[in-house]
Amino acid sequence: MLKNEMIIVGGGIIGLTAAYYLQKAGHRVRIFDQSEIGSEASWAGGGILSPLAPWDYPPVINNLVHESLKDYPVFIEEISAATGMDVEYLDSGMLVIADSSDTPKAKQWSDSYQQKVDRLDSAQALHQVEQNISERFDHAFYLPDVKQIRNPRLLATVKTYLQDNDVIFHNNEAVTEILHSKNSVRGVKTEQGKYEGDAVVVCAGAWTRKFFELKQTKIEPVLGQMLLYKTKPGTQKTIILHDKKYLIPRKDGHILSGSTLEFKGFDKQPDSNFPHQQKAFSEQVLPILKNAEIVKKWCGFRPGLPSGIPYIDEHQEILGLYVNAGHYRYGLTMAHASAKILLERMQIEVENSNSLNHEAYAMNAERPSSEEFENYQTVDDK
């Protein structure tokens, strides 16, 4: 059944992208966020449009990413032309520092997704790709087609585009209750009042479990911290990944260094050791950063799931209540394919729909755990 009044709970890139497709399908959309829309993990992230070492992830994740990234060129062209804003959608490529043991996995991924991967087996070969990289590294994979986007600029552009297309923003207005009668959703309640809706979509990231009980596992907050260096443009040209951390060059010479994975609930008190440890990592990879100024640091909560496989489904008991959350580190890369699956779940026709197995992202789908969560213990909310 087609819906009309759509309410989205959560204003990160997942909620904003869902709103983009819903308004294009002719529906009225409201977005609620407990803080400023587009200010949490989506703003804080690095903007790499690829999984980190994608061959380490199962097809259910890579498929969602692969399909989603197909939509970015047209999406960026549309919102940039409409707003006159630059999101810094750049061809950066990515160096993944790793030894030869990853070669079979990397080749299989490359063949499966038709993505180019070059094996570099000397320091000289690495320097040809990234001139300022440390000479200590002599083995890596180079993915020349990986792109990046500057998160804050993307979010600002999408917000402007949506508001120009009559999407209503409720900044700093937390949803306190999902309203439903019997087995059908009716809308949401905030401290400012009640809002009726034909459908409610929970895209609340790390806060999703406040509204949507997930029986198999819980979406947990995973804190990530970042450093930002100021250098001359061209100091670093290619995204560099090493030991699950990364350095990302921006167009204006800034270099983003991240990120931690901190499992401590909604405690946003930064790890005091982070700046020193991340600075050491950054200078180990790019020695030229020893003389660079750190101009900013920040953090944000990712919506962590043990599997990294998001939930995109309708509530099993309440009709019209949907979830699109749990994208962990890859909300930006999965946003478009996730939104299309969501709309098809809502029985709304989607232009250029994908052929993904929607059941892989259902609430009751089996989800294996990832290595990152091996020693993880649930931390109660504070």
- Confidence check: pLDDT of 120 > 50: yes
pLDDT band at 371; cut points 50, 70, 90: low
Give mean pLDDT, residues 252-266.
90
- Confidence check: pLDDT of 247 > 90: yes
pTM of the model: 0.93
Give mean pLDDT, residues 333-353.
93
The pLDDT > 90 percentage for the chain reads: 75
- For strand 5-9 and strand 147-148, is the pairing parallel, antiparallel, or unpaired? unpaired
174, burial (CB in 10 Å: exposed 0-12, middle 13-18, buried 19+): middle
Quick one: pLDDT at residue 370? 60
Provide the CB-side half-sphere exposure for 46 (13 A, CA): 30
Q: Classify residue 41 by its DSSP letter.
A: H
| Between residues 300 and 66, the one the model is more confident about | 66
Q: Where are the domains of the chain?
A: 5-373
Contact 44, 373 (CB under 8 A): no
Q: Which two tokens stand for residue 343?
A: 């709309």
Phi and psi, residue 381, nearest 5°: -60, 150
Longest dimension (CA), the chain: 67
Q: What is the helix (H) or strand (E) element at residue 13, kind and residue range? A: helix 13-24
Contact 271, 260 (CB under 8 A): yes
pLDDT band at 217; cut points 50, 70, 90: low
Q: Which fold has domain 5-373?
A: FAD/NAD(P)-binding domain (3.50.50)
Q: Which two tokens stand for residue 362?
A: 């259902």
Burial letters 43-81, b for 16+ CB under 10 A, else e: bbbbbbbbbbbbbbbeebbbbbbbbbbebbeebbeebbe
- Confidence check: pLDDT of 379 > 70: no
Give mean pLDDT, residues 204-232.
85
* Average pLDDT of the chain to the nearest whole number: 91
Quick one: pLDDT at residue 35? 93
Quick one: pLDDT at residue 1? 41
